[in-house]
Amino acid sequence: MMVTVRLFSDLVQHLPTGATGKRAQVELPEGATVLTLIEALGIPFEISEGMIGIALNDEVSHHEVRLRDGDRVSLFPALAGG
């Protein structure tokens, strides 16, 4: 299946070769989750810390959600606050 991924801030360095702008088409196996995509891109991610913001089709999402063909996934570094 093919999904579109958009990366923001420091995460853009993990875009695959041939990506244009801040987005790319990524092929994943059926049954893949957002975490599968994160791992395929080589993005360091600690599940316990949840340090990546995730939006699936412009809705806040989670790393365990299964993806479907044509989904749009946006990944951005979580903001630190105080």
Specify the CATH number for the domain of residue 62: 3.10.20.30
pLDDT score for 45? 77
**pLDDT at position 82 over 50:** no
**pLDDT one-digit tens code per residue, 20-47:** 888 999 999 999 999 999 999 999 876 5
State how many domains the chain has.
Answer: 1
- Given phi > 0 = left and psi -120 to 50 = alpha, else beta, which region is 64? alpha
Supply the pLDDT for residue 50. Answer: 58
53 in a structural domain: yes
In a domain, 82, yes or no: no
Question: Which domain, by its residues, includes 8?
Answer: 2-77
Residue 6: inside a domain, yes or no?
A: yes
Instruction: Please answer whether residues 56 and 71 qualify as being in contact, where contact means their C-beta atoms are separated by less than 8 angstroms.
Output: yes
Burial status of residue 80 (CB atoms within 10 A of its CB: 0-12, 13-18, 19 or more): exposed
Alpha carbon distance 81, 53 (integer Å): 14
Domain assignment of residue 40, yes or no: yes
Mean confidence (pLDDT) of the chain: 89
Residue 33 lies in a domain: yes
pLDDT of 65 above 70: yes
In a domain, 37, yes or no: yes
